[in-house]
Structure 1
């Protein structure tokens, strides 16, 4: 698949690279696995004096041997003596950068924590001592969100406040997904676009897999997901077990319940029969996997709170694959596809709400976006978009099938919210598959 989008990120990396010609730069690039971080960095390297290093789980001397060979090959520089410690490697690179302006990328940087955790203090000391004379464009890239955040944002860690820039790589936006699907299948239908969005969430690797396999409809995507040796079947485990460590079973249970519409803390705790407050807090703040949702206009301290999984594919994985993992293990793919077909209308309805929320966000026409409901999950309004400058408000009912939308019912259940929006020009709208 050709390289799509990322113009903003490439422009930011270009500006950082230009700054490094006169002052050393340390950039942190973070994003979930499969999001396209490595492809982005390699695209930025094209035509530049740049070295890409992957931090594999190897011994320190072996890594140093590989790293030194890569630097020598690219820069055509000698090395005096044998380098078998990472500390000495970074000291050598920083010395080279005093005469040469180049980019050094270290991918999966967080793995150093397992190989030699002292290296973070070594890098801090070397950076502080040499950055004044250095012209190094140093990029640390990682997919373990919690570990990368801890390394660079924990005030007790040596590299705290050392980075000069941070890029968080996010999924493709809606317009890019439409472009990709349109290039692959110009005759695609809106239900194909919804399935493409719902099952990939704009994650580059999943998008690439479906496009390469010619899977452009729900049925062909399901065939690709539920097949022997499929990338997707173990993806949740592969992506998250290392993040969660020994508590992964509890985290997985919480995520599975949220994916299956148990979205409040009391609901989750009543089923698991244990307090999950610390787990929810970490899933939201440390791992960035869930988000807390309050009714629009509610106070930040309000007690009416729901949770949702932020990642579309992980929502699908926990809803359909993890919940039925026994069927995965015995290879009963027909059963799994039948489960998806049965429950897809409900799942796709939630994804359609998310689709329009993202589309309205990307329009930059509103100052606040959210949904609304009252205690007991009553009077739910799927999308509320406010423009506080122009005093305009859009209240929308979202259904896959437009025949199920009732604007009179929407107005009726919006009465309490409308009272809170006095002075706003209110617009009521129905949004369906037809409006994608």
Structure 2
């Protein structure tokens, strides 16, 4: 089969496209299963529709319907693909799945047959036996010739994540497991057309992240004309009750099937947005015991709305962060002033939210961008293979204080060896960094050297979106000090 080119209208997603094409066109004579997941608005459907068109496959998008209606819709889609003038009628899903796989037994000169079933959780909810029926056919056609390439796709992350786990019927049957994630911050800047304005790009990403649908489907390409237009743009879009984005953060929670008591989940997210990043801190904020929030934390993690990161300096100490920027913005800025926003007072609310936006949204988000930078293009600063990138707290017993490290990078290590520290960094969104910040990092390094976790060669890095004082710039001539500006992150 000739190479399958990515259509020009599909922005980015080169790695995802290559993986999907490799799965869809692999010439192996056995039936194959792929699972594609990702939160809504990531462009999964757009990507899979483009692929099925390129390889002449079958795309079926399930809907929220009864089992009988879904079965009729599936039969109609199969008939349309086969060129039948009338829809196929199946007595049950057992017959439908068996017939589907039988299509892969035909001698297909065009290559394997790709079938995409989108929004699969709708089907598995009304017909829980469907995964088992697919498992039966996959197992059968591991020994008999079959060119079927079945791809199951869905947005309910907890459901899709459970398809291949533990004792699930499809465990061990998939040859592809792809999670379609938001664009990275630099790719998002290109997508929004603001890559040449890092200050605007960082603010825009702190509010909307890298979700593709927000620009085109939600805002009809209404983008900020420049940094000076950011405030007016925000009040006419995200903060306006007339905009589809206004209630989007609430909908993101409501769409997850495992979330019942949304008030509890909003409280957990609000706690994290307020800076309560530990399990104990979250529990205290919402007035519950730590054990009571175990399930909400797990569900939010499985839904890719919350991320858990281990403290790199203290084992067993985890910190949480909201992984969806729009939800963090909603909890920090919108939810506390919801009544005012609903009454159309977006300009007033936003004018009073500068400090809250800087401390609870832009600041923590900038720290995350700095860690992402070190995972990607920033590795050149280290000059050798890296291990983990994270954050942590260094305790200073003598002074009875703690030093927070926003960006910590460990060296790559061989199995069984202890990983050394390659870099310690501090990130500031709205502060011109000076020698005070560098001295604090230097003191943290000395403490870690005393514990055998760092060396004098461990780099000290200052990340600032606002700039660096002259005396700090002079210190950057030292081989162990690096300064990283906002422009450097986007360069």
Question: After TM superposition, is the score higher than 0.5?
Answer: yes
**Corresponding position: 1:158 with 2:169:** yes
**Corresponding position: 1:256 with 2:288:** no
Q: Which has the higher contact order (CA 8 A, sep 6+)?
A: 1
For 1:379 and 1:342, the matched residues in 2 are separated by 23
What secondary structure, in the 3-state scheme, does the structure 2 residue paired with 1:159 have? coil
**Corresponding position: 1:145 with 2:157:** yes
Native 8 Å contact 2:121 2:159 kept in 1: yes
Partner of 2:480: none
After superposition, residues 158-237 of structure 1 pair within 5 angstroms as 158-181=169-192, 184-185=193-194, 188-208=196-216, 209=218, 212-215=221-224, 217=227, 218-219=230-231, 220-237=233-250
Q: 1:29 aligns with which of 31, 36, 52?
A: 36
Partner of 2:432: 403
Native 8 Å contact 2:32 2:138 kept in 1: no
Q: C-alpha displacement at 1:231, in angstroms?
A: 2.0
Worse-matched range after superposition: 50-59 or 111-120: 111-120
Native 8 Å contact 1:405 1:430 kept in 2: no
For residues 145-197 of structure 1, the C-alpha deviation after alignment (integer angstroms, 9 at most, x for no partner) is 11112233141x3233322220011111233123224xx357x4221011122
Q: C-alpha displacement at 1:320, in angstroms?
A: 2.0
**Is the alpha carbon distance of 1:324 and 1:65 closer, same or farther for their aligned partners in structure 2, counting shifts above 3 Å?**
same
What secondary structure, in the 3-state scheme, does the structure 2 residue paired with 1:288 have? coil
**Is the alpha carbon distance of 1:277 and 1:401 closer, same or farther for their aligned partners in structure 2, counting shifts above 3 Å?**
closer
Worse-matched range after superposition: 261-270 or 370-379: 370-379
For 2:202 and 2:340, the matched residues in 1 are separated by 26
For 1:176 and 1:81, the matched residues in 2 are separated by 44
After superposition, residues 311-390 of structure 1 pair within 5 angstroms as 311-346=324-359, 347-363=361-377, 366-374=386-394, 378-388=402-412
Partner of 1:287: 303
Native 8 Å contact 1:26 1:165 kept in 2: yes
**Is the alpha carbon distance of 1:26 and 1:81 closer, same or farther for their aligned partners in structure 2, counting shifts above 3 Å?**
closer
Partner of 1:14: 21
Give the TM-score of the pair, scaled to structure 2: 0.79
Native 8 Å contact 1:103 1:136 kept in 2: yes
For 2:441 and 2:161, the matched residues in 1 are separated by 42
For 1:81 and 1:320, the matched residues in 2 are separated by 52
Q: 2:146 aligns with which of 93, 112, 134?
A: 134
What secondary structure, in the 3-state scheme, does the structure 2 residue paired with 1:239 have? helix
For residues 97-123 of structure 1, the C-alpha deviation after alignment (integer angstroms, 9 at most, x for no partner) is 211431111111011133222323333
Native 8 Å contact 1:379 1:414 kept in 2: no
Q: Which has the higher helix share?
A: 1
Give the TM-score of the pair, scaled to structure 1: 0.89
Native 8 Å contact 1:109 1:140 kept in 2: yes
What secondary structure, in the 3-state scheme, does the structure 2 residue paired with 1:246 have? coil
**Is the alpha carbon distance of 1:394 and 1:6 closer, same or farther for their aligned partners in structure 2, counting shifts above 3 Å?**
same
How large is the Cα RMSD of the aligned pairs?
2.8
Partner of 1:113: 124
After superposition, residues 58-73 of structure 1 pair within 5 angstroms as 58-73=65-80
For 2:205 and 2:93, the matched residues in 1 are separated by 42
For 1:197 and 1:321, the matched residues in 2 are separated by 17
For residues 211-268 of structure 1, the C-alpha deviation after alignment (integer angstroms, 9 at most, x for no partner) is 8002354322343111233222221221112424323221221111111112222222
After superposition, residues 85-100 of structure 1 pair within 5 angstroms as 85-99=92-106, 100=108
Worse-matched range after superposition: 330-339 or 238-247: 330-339
For 1:65 and 1:21, the matched residues in 2 are separated by 31
Unaligned segments of structure 1, at least 5 residues: none
For residues 372-418 of structure 1, the C-alpha deviation after alignment (integer angstroms, 9 at most, x for no partner) is 21458721122122334696622222112462343223323443234
Native 8 Å contact 2:366 2:429 kept in 1: yes
